């Protein structure tokens, strides 16, 4: 059962779930709803996915619930990636291949992983070129339809970590970051790209996230990167389990 709360504005919604299956179903319906709108508006749908441990079952549910027509007109990007080969156990793209790509009919030309180059910086440069190939070299920032975000226990999201120089990037679409509190150098979308998305959907589970969820959604603590990683003109939706929402008064 979800308890919903429209906090502050229509563009920011919080939904709390005590049933994991209903949380996954809500995510799937958000994806399908935005995809259908994008296909009607433009004939294609762009989604950028985060990694980590939480989203796997949510992505797997997409692979059985979303129609072939939507998949064939969808383009999959990455919100962030670890600087490892896609075959590495810690690769976010590797997880997405296992949970979605090998289970659905989507053409290679619609798949846009972060390239694994010699350095994380070179990967970020190549990834931005790939993004510009699809969204256009002249546009200031890409308008990605649907972003899937997670939340780290330190308040990071994507691979935008507290105190990182990547937080101050105002021009580039993707940059390298070197977290002190997590493994691997990273490649991440920047705040301007995240803020330009039509829909940003957070999937947050676990007691270890509860304090940060309160600091972000109630206190608006700007020191935490996730507080700034919201859609500027579109929707930002927080799907929380009971544990992650434990300090919210809904």
Name the minimum Å distance from CB 63 to ligand 6PG: 18
Name the minimum Å distance from CB 48 to ligand 6PG: 10
Residue 210: which of 155, 156, 163 has the closest Cα?
155
Which of 113, 142, 150, 179 forms a contact with ligand 6PG (CB under 6 A)? Answer: 150
Is residue 196 a contact residue for ligand 6PG (CB under 6 A)? no
Q: CA 220, CA 72: separation in Å to the nearest integer?
A: 39
Q: CA 71, CA 64: separation in Å to the nearest integer?
A: 11
- Our CB check for ligand 6PG shows the closer of 90 and 122 to be 90
- Our CB check for ligand 6PG shows the closer of 55 and 234 to be 55
- Our CB check for ligand 6PG shows the closer of 141 and 161 to be 161
Which window, 2-10, 51-59, 125-133, 193-201, contacts ligand 6PG (CB under 6 A)?
A: 51-59
Q: CA 47, CA 35: separation in Å to the nearest integer?
A: 9
Is residue 51 a contact residue for ligand 6PG (CB under 6 A)? yes
Which window, 57-65, 103-111, 134-142, 154-162, contacts ligand 6PG (CB under 6 A)?
A: 154-162
**3-class secondary structure, 153:** coil
Binding mask 67-86 for ligand 6PG (x = CB under 6 A): ------------xx------
In degrees, rounded to 5, the angle at the alpha carbon of residue 13 between the alpha carbons of residues 7 and 248 is 60
236 strand-pairing partners:
12, 200
Is residue 53 a contact residue for ligand 6PG (CB under 6 A)? yes
Q: CA 135, CA 246: separation in Å to the nearest integer?
A: 39
Is residue 210 a contact residue for ligand 6PG (CB under 6 A)? no
Which of 46, 54, 230, 231 forms a contact with ligand 6PG (CB under 6 A)? Answer: 54
Please give the structure tokens belonging to residue 233.
């003109």
Q: CA 55, CA 49: separation in Å to the nearest integer?
A: 9
Q: For 6, which DSSP code?
A: -
Q: CA 198, CA 107: separation in Å to the nearest integer?
A: 24
Is residue 95 a contact residue for ligand 6PG (CB under 6 A)? no
Q: Are 155 and 164 in contact (CB under 8 A)?
A: no
Is residue 52 a contact residue for ligand 6PG (CB under 6 A)? yes
Is residue 158 a contact residue for ligand 6PG (CB under 6 A)? yes
Which of 46, 50, 123, 231 forms a contact with ligand 6PG (CB under 6 A)? Answer: 50
Please give the structure tokens belonging to residue 167.
């937080």
Q: For 47, which DSSP code?
A: E
The footprint of ligand 6PG (CB under 6 A) covers 50-54, 79-80, 92, 150-152, 156-159
């Amino acid at each position: 059962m979800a308890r919903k709360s429209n906090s502050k504005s229509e563009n920011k919604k919080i939904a709390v779930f005590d049933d994991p299956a209903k949380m996954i179903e809500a995510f799937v319906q958000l994806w399908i709803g935005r995809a259908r709108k994008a296909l009607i508006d433009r004939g294609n749908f762009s989604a950028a996915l985060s990694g980590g441990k939480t989203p796997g079952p949510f992505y797997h549910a997409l692979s059985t619930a979303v129609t072939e027509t939507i998949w064939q007109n969808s383009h999959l990007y990455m919100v962030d990636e670890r600087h490892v080969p896609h075959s590495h156990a810690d690769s976010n793209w590797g997880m997405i291949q296992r949970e979605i790509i090998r289970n659905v009919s989507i053409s290679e030309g619609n798949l846009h992983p972060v390239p694994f180059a010699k350095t994380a910086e070179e990967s970020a440069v190549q990834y931005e070129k790939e993004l510009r190939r699809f969204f256009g070299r002249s546009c200031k920032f890409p308008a990605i339809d649907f972003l899937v975000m997670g939340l780290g226990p330190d308040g990071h999201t994507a691979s935008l970590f507290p105190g990182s120089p990547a937080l101050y990037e105002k021009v580039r679409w993707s940059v390298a970051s070197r977290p002190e509190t997590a493994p691997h150098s990273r490649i991440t979308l920047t705040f301007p790209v995240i803020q330009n998305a039509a829909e940003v959907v957070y999937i947050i589970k676990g007691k270890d996230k509860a304090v940060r969820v309160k600091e972000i959604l109630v206190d608006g603590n700007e020191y935490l990167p996730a507080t700034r990683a919201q859609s500027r003109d579109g929707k930002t939706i927080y799907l929380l389990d009971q544990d992650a929402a434990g300090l919210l008064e809904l």
